Homo-oligomer: A and B are copies of this chain.
Amino acid sequence: MNLPPTIERFVLHFGEMGGRWGVNRTVGQIYALLFVSDRPLTAEEIAGSLGMSRSNVSMGLKELESWRLIRKRHLLGDRREHIEALDDVWQIVRTLAEERRKREVDPTLTLLRDLLLEPTAAPAEQHAQDKMRQMHDVIELLTGWADDVQKLDNDSLMRLLMLGAGVSRLLEFKNRIPGLGPAKRGEEDA
């Protein structure tokens, strides 16, 4: 099956880029194809369009499902699965953020917490633990913030992004208003 040139270029690019993210070339290609497709596709169609084996598509879809980026649907009177990519780009951003955090950040945070509890002996170890604490604290601050922002609805999130660094000006301002004291984490309205 032959793809239109625009789509082919998009698909190939995502294949290359896939490598830089945690997925392999074919997974990137499959996702790109599904993302731009105007209808759900069967595994057979995907394999045909991308020139890869049927079994490879099956494994790729499994991977994409674990990232929660696709859904398998059934059409009446058709035994085949029809696969579609999540539609809302904001939802995609959120999902990716969650999954990457789960895979890349959380294990590190767990380890750091663990290592910080170890008793230290040599001064070299003391220093190492100090650096680990710094790393732990900055990661915790970043992920805590990400958690909070995740709770915002698309609209508030967009407004926040569009404000950009103007937020710093807003922060200055806020510090002069007593009624708007620092919010405690997790007590904000979503």
- Which residues in A have some Cβ–Cβ distance to B below 8 Å? 4-7, 9-10, 13, 17, 20-22, 35-38, 89-90, 93, 103-104, 107-108, 111, 115, 118, 120-125, 127-129, 131-132, 134-135, 137-138, 141-142, 144-145, 147-149, 151-152, 156, 158-171, 173-174, 180, 182-183, 185, 188-190
Contacts of A145 in B (CB 8 A): 160-162, 164
Q: Interface majority SS on A: helix, strand, loop or mixed?
A: helix
Contacts of A22 in B (CB 8 A): 20
Contacts of A164 in B (CB 8 A): 144-145, 147-149, 183, 185, 188
Cβ-defined contact, A13 with B185, below 8 A: no
Q: A6-B118, A182-B162, A189-B169 are in contact. Are A36 and B128 (CB under 8 A)?
A: yes
Cβ-defined contact, A167 with B166, below 8 A: no
